[in-house]
């Protein structure tokens, strides 16, 4: 947020308004929550075709220097020293008690690391990186670039019309491509569970690229509402809701992202904030676990609703919830005592003190279709 507390417009602000978007303040930015077609259609069209999302509020940071890999690795439980060139990893910034400061996407490039951080955390993340590893490498926020996400099964077709080389990218790979006369950095990744791309582009080229993509018959503009329902169906965490500084990677069921080299007995065991807590939970389990939740009826169960066992004891809480257009029903995620995390376990959610029957459900709710 700027000094006047006015939401910051992204480089696509004028286009959003031209398209009739409903704009809302989000993480200090003025962003579209939906367009006239509505969240439901934006969601379903992304699943069937491709949705174009403005994610320019996300932070983009370049970390460079001879020791950049080792320096970054000291802040996360993931292996980055041996990350292949133009390969990408999902990473967690952890704190001294094993909690999650933020979740990041990190891509190794020829001479640096490209890092995408959450909008609400980017100022704090930059300060944290500067104070922790700034004497070993250079930390450079990219303030003059926009970020677009093109997601869905027709994303490769639409972006491929502008540069056919994007089709050669595999899931969690990135490379540079010329798009609209700008040297863009493109990764094959996203936040919807679908195949797709995230495109870092100079701010003054962003609108031109967006308009070209929207000319494709399979591409529709999509806002924050559809982005949230898509990621929820895909079982993907939202920082500040499903994960935060009190949540460990093991409790969040994100242990899959911690490579063998950083675990007990690995060649670079530990050495990251909260290592003692996280390594212990990797060996012995966490007291609580993130799970999917499905209501047996049609009533949505939203964030903050307590979860109870059959005896009426509170054993968990909902952290994200809403309507899932693809599954045509309410979906949610939350945390429960680990002993109750088995799919099929019957629980009760309290919504405005009204009991709603729910059960633990395997994640994701919709099969992920990344281009593996």
Q: Please, are residues 349 and 336 in contact by the beta-carbon 8 Å criterion?
A: no
Q: Which conformational region is residue 71 in: left (phi greater than 0), alpha (psi within -120 to 50 degrees), or beta?
A: alpha
Tokens 């320096």 belong to 71
Rounded to 10 degrees, the C-alpha dihedral 309/315/318/323 comes to -20
- How far apart (Å, rounded) are the C-alpha atoms in residues 86 and 166? 13
Residue 284's CB is within 10 A of a number of other CB atoms, namely 9
What is the pLDDT at residue 224? 98
End-to-end CA distance of the chain: 37
What is the pLDDT at residue 1? 44
What is the pLDDT at residue 372? 82
Residue 372's CB is within 10 A of a number of other CB atoms, namely 8
What domains, with CATH codes, occur in the chain?
8-59+144-233 (3.30.1360.120), 287-363 (2.40.30.110)
Query: pTM for this structure?
Result: 0.96
Tokens 């257009």 belong to 325
Around 15, how many Cα atoms within 13 Å sit in the side-chain half-sphere?
20
What is the pLDDT at residue 156? 98
Q: What is the pLDDT along the chain (372 residues), one digit of tens a residue?
A: 444 589 999 999 999 999 999 999 999 999 999 999 999 999 999 999 999 999 999 999 999 999 999 999 999 999 999 999 999 999 999 999 999 999 999 999 999 999 999 999 999 999 999 999 999 999 999 999 999 999 999 999 999 999 999 999 999 999 999 999 999 999 999 999 999 999 999 999 999 999 999 999 999 999 999 999 999 999 999 999 999 999 999 999 999 999 999 999 999 999 999 999 999 999 999 999 999 999 988 989 999 999 999 999 999 999 999 999 999 999 999 999 999 999 999 999 999 989 999 999 999 999 999 988
List the Cα angle 288/332/353 in 5-degree steps.
85
What is the pLDDT at residue 313? 97
């Amino acid at each position: 947020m700027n000094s006047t507390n006015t939401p910051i417009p992204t480089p696509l602000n004028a286009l959003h308004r031209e398209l009739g978007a409903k704009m809302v303040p989000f993480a200090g930015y003025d962003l579209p929550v939906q367009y006239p077609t509505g969240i439901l259609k934006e969601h379903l069209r992304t699943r069937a075709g491709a949705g174009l999302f403005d994610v320019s509020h996300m932070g983009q940071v370049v970390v460079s220097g001879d020791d950049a890999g080792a320096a970054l690795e000291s802040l996360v439980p993931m292996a980055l020293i041996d990350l292949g060139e133009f390969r990408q990893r999902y990473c967690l910034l952890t704190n001294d008690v094993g909690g999650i400061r933020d979740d990041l996407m990190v891509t190794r490039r020829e001479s640096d690391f490209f890092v995408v951080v959450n909008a609400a955390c980017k100022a704090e993340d930059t300060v944290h990186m500067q104070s922790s590893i700034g004497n070993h490498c250079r930390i450079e926020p990219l303030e003059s670039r926009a970020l677009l996400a093109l997601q869905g099964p027709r994303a490769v077709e639409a972006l491929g019309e502008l540069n056919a080389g994007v089709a050669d990218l595999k899931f969690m790979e990135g490379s540079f491509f010329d798009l609209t006369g700008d040297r863009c950095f493109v990764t094959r990744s996203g936040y919807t569970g679908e195949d797709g791309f995230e495109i870092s582009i100079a701010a003054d080229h962003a609108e031109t690229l967006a308009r070209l993509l929207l000319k494709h018959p399979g591409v529709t503009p999509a806002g924050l509402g559809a982005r949230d329902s898509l990621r929820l169906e895909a079982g993907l965490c939202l920082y500040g809701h499903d994960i935060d500084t009190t949540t460990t990677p093991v409790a969040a069921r994100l242990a899959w992202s911690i490579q063998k080299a950083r675990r007990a007995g690995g060649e670079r065991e530990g050495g990251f904030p909260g290592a003692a807590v996280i390594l212990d939970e990797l060996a012995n389990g966490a007291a609580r676990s993130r799970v999917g939740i499905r209501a047996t009826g049609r009533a949505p169960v939203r964030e903050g609703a307590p979860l109870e066992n059959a005896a009426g004891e509170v054993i968990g809480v909902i952290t994200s919830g809403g309507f899932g257009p693809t599954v045509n029903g309410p979906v949610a995620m939350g945390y429960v005592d680990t002993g109750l995390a088995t799919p099929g376990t019957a629980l009760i959610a309290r919504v405005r003190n009204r009991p709603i029957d729910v059960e633990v459900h395997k994640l994701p709710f919709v099969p992920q279709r990344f281009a593996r």
